[in-house]
Amino acid sequence: MRLKIMVTGKNRRIAMDVGEHLANDRDYITVKCASSKEALFEMVPREMPNVIIICLGDETKDTVAVFDVLRECTKMGGVTIIVIASDNDRKVFIGNTRLERMFFMERPVSLFALYEKLNDVEEKVQAQKDNGELMLTEYINPHANDLPVRKHILIVDDNTDLLLQLKDQLKEFYEVTLVPSGEAALRFFEKKTADLILLDYMMPKMNGPEVLARLRASDDLVHIPVIFLTGVTERETVVKTLVELKPEGYIVKPARRSELVAKIIDVLDAREAEEGASAKPEKTTENDDE
């Protein structure tokens, strides 16, 4: 098996050196990615790497926050994140990241330790516990999930800027996952689920109605409410889709946060009411004839 490995981060010298070794020594498929939210969010779902290596260099709170977008991307499947860092950058990263699970490797990089870990990924077995031997330590962020369990919204749109904007509008109230295409949404549902879907109506390759038709045809997904995200010019076409596929409604972009949240609350409340009604036992009348 040839692993696909994405290399990113501010320290370009180390990123380039590591990428060359991975390609030349182990014949891994290596992909370079700029360390920006937009680039990471666009490339990770498209490339679907097995491993993401982040090469840190003189980090700050803001530069560390860039990699939080990987929290959304990696929800679509198991991705091992390895962070190469100095002791100081490691402390800055731990103090500011919202990533849930990662492996740290100190500089200078031990290729032996890196290859050992990649062998573990390749073989799909648990990583060795002797971190001192491997020079590779796993860090599990104890604060990643401090927030109480909230409703989970999946947003599907091919516009990265709009996705990030919608996440900013909703993250105060909901757990939000972002995916950039209909195909990525269906892959998401192979392993995860959501309480509601905000679905872009017009997308390349697989548009919103096609995605909704797939969901409605699945016994496991038919119950998930769907709200279309649509432009003003598509309104008449959307109304026809409302009749045919029966989504729970639509919102015209760009929507105000109050409008967006109000619509989501209405749909989720209606769904909970339906589920509550269906769960109640039917009333029976006693037979007086004995």
Quick check: 255 pLDDT over 80? yes
Q: Say which CATH architecture domain 4-140 belongs to.
A: 3-Layer(aba) Sandwich (3.40)
- Range in 37-46, 72-81, 86-95, 268-277 the model is least confident about: 72-81
pLDDT 10s digits, 90-124: 999 999 998 888 899 998 888 888 988 888 887 75
What is the mean predicted confidence (pLDDT) over 51-65? 92
Query: What integer is the mean pLDDT of 151-169?
Result: 90
Tokens of 172: 């105060």
The pLDDT value recorded for residue 138 is 59
Question: Higher model confidence: residue 91 or residue 289?
Answer: 91
| Phi, psi (degrees; rounded to nearest 5) at 189 | -75, -5
pLDDT (0 to 100) of residue 121 = 83
Task: Answer for the pair 49, 19: CB distance below 8 angstroms, yes or no.
Answer: no
Q: Measured between alpha carbons, how far is 272 from 193 in angstroms, rounded to an integer?
A: 16
CB 159 within 8 A of CB 176: no
- pLDDT tens profile 64-99: 988 988 876 655 556 889 999 999 999 999 999 988
Please state the rounded mean pLDDT for residues 12-40: 89
**152-278 topology per CATH:** Rossmann fold (3.40.50)
pLDDT of residue 274: 79
What's the N-to-C CA distance of the chain in angstroms? 74
What would the two tokens of residue 288 be?
Answer: 């007086």
DSSP 24-64: HHH--EEEE--SSHHHHHHHHHHH--SEEEEE--S--HHHH
Share of the chain above pLDDT 90, in %: 34
Euclidean distance between CA atoms 18 and 266, whole angstroms: 50
Domain ranges for the chain: 4-140, 152-278
The pLDDT confidence band at residue 1, using thresholds 50, 70 and 90, is low
Alpha carbons 240 and 277: distance in angstroms, whole number: 29
- Predicted local distance difference test score (pLDDT) of residue 49: 87
Distance in angstroms (rounded) separating the CA atoms of residues 50 and 118: 10
Answer yes or no: is pLDDT of 277 > 90.
Answer: no
The answer, yes or no, to whether residue 185 has pLDDT greater than 90, is yes
What pLDDT is recorded for position 133?
39
pLDDT bucket at 202, cuts 50 / 70 / 90? confident
pLDDT at residue number 128: 36
Percent above pLDDT 70 for the chain: 81
Mean pLDDT of 16-26: 90
CA–CA separation, 6 vs 15, rounded Å? 10
